[in-house]
Amino acid sequence: MNILELSATEIASKIAARELSSREVTAFFLERIDTLDSKVVAFTSRNAQALQQADEVDRKIQAGELSGALAGVPLAIKDVLCTPEMPTTCGSQMLKNFTAPYTATAVQKILDAGMVVLGKTNMDEFAMGGSTETSVFGPTHNPWDLNRTAGGSSGGSAAALAAGMAPISIGSDTGGSVRQPAAFCGVCGLKPTYGRVSRFGLVAFASSLDQVGCFAHHSSDLAATLQVIAGFDNRDSTSVNAEVFDYSASLGDSLLPLKVGIIREHLENEALDPDVRAAVAKTQDCLRELGAEIIEVELPHTNYSVPAYYVVAPCEASGNLSRYDGVHYGFRQLGETEDQPLESMIAASRSEGFGAEVKRRIMLGTFALSEGYSDAYYKKALRVRRLIARDYQQAFEKVDVLLGPTTPTPPYELGEKVGDPVQMYLGDLFTVGANLAGLPGLSLPAGMTEAGLPLAVQLQGRSMGEAKLLQVAHQLQRAGLFVPQVACVA
């Protein structure tokens, strides 16, 4: 039996039927990590207790104490979610040796569902980046071409899945950090509605934008994973107190009538690669054959989304990262003498503990919030954010879902944009709007380039509209838009 050919829900079914055990499956993926991760660099740490967790899950399943759509299935978790069993580093020197004293709500829900954590995955430092090249652990390599980026900031989670080192993985999305690496690695990636998944235990980058999301090869696995991690949490003041939809049960529901909006501004953008444009057209044709009505819509302020995002996000990061001062926890740079002034120690700790991109964003945010400039930059960005949200609201008065590209280009070479922050930021052009508006977005594969690089498209939906996005993705997968594949890591 080739475990790589099974979806996560199929693995769980075979574990429940005693055709496989959680220990067998967990050991299989741990062995692949040992074999492949030196080339991919998808993981920052392994869970030393993974096999013991799997044994306990097997015991509970056999005793009838545990069941569920993903019981016994192992997964990988982005190194931005707190876990007491493994370090939570956020890919930074600042937290390289930090172990959290508590478990993030999303992780606890995963453990309660009987899933097994394989390890923590690599990421851009404090989730600031679009290529997983700012990590203190080094860059993650794209399994389809090891010379290319896996995307970011959840590049490790996407690459682990693409290389067959995990059947499911968890990431976080502040401006596209689930959807963009999913596109680059040829897997599915879902960013839920803001507040749908608890942020308790998610180390904050930009609190009004961050959202826990998930990766999978199959739309059915995305649905089952969202079913596990979604829900109200009174420890998160931004958590939405709404009933969790049965995402898996609704996958096979009829889509019709379905109105799909094609975002004119996205397809007319000069930065859009012809191969990506063709992938959107191919998906549009597939939806039309499924009976959908295709309608062109406009998001008039979409070209302002990146500038607005790169004011709002750094401003929030400036405040969130002020806690890392070398005093309470995290990296501390000691001086030559024990009586070093406190201010000097804090300055040295932050200077040595943070990387260049994080320091750039802290400085940008601090400047935009400073006296005399907050009205000109931060408050103006908030007004633009409201306009962007209104554009989406008006679009969804006409259509059920929006279709467009996830990224402007296929995955680019490592080092190609790391020296040009503006070009790196423009990679978020088609994804940041959903974060600014708090809406769900789903990236799904849509073929390959002639050079064998993944292509992808993006679906965006109404607030709490994940079920519709998953239904559309499921029907597209059944229609053959994409076939789940594991990359052959050379």
What six digits make up the tokens of 310? 């790169």
SS (H, E, C) 327-366: CCCCCCCCCCCCCCCHHHHHHHHHHHHCCHHHHHHHHHHH
- Type of residue at 144: W
DSSP string, 1-21: --GGGS-HHHHHHHHHTTSS-
Residues with Cβ within 8 Å of 127's Cβ and at least 6 positions away in sequence, in order, are 80, 90, 153, 154, 172, 174, 177, 205, 210
Distance CA 124, CA 92 (A): 8
Residues with Cβ within 8 Å of 278's Cβ and at least 6 positions away in sequence, in order, are none
Q: String of b and e for 64-86 (b: at least 16 CB within 10 Å)?
A: eebebbbbbbbbbbbbbbbbebb
What six digits make up the tokens of 374? 């907050």
Residues with Cβ within 8 Å of 384's Cβ and at least 6 positions away in sequence, in order, are 301, 304, 307, 308
Give 125's DSSP letter: G
Of 131, 153, 157, 220, catalytic: 153
Of 157, 177, 305, 318, catalytic: 177
Element containing residue 419 per DSSP (H, E): none
Q: Quick one: CA torsion of 251, 255, 259, 261, rounded to 10 degrees?
A: 30
- Rounded alpha-carbon distances, angstroms, from residue 250 to 197, 246, 468: 19, 7, 9
Of 7, 14, 78, 417, catalytic: 78
Distance CA 224, CA 124 (A): 27
**Is 78 tagged catalytic?**
yes
CB 458 within 8 A of CB 443: yes
Q: Which residues are catalytic?
A: 78, 153, 177
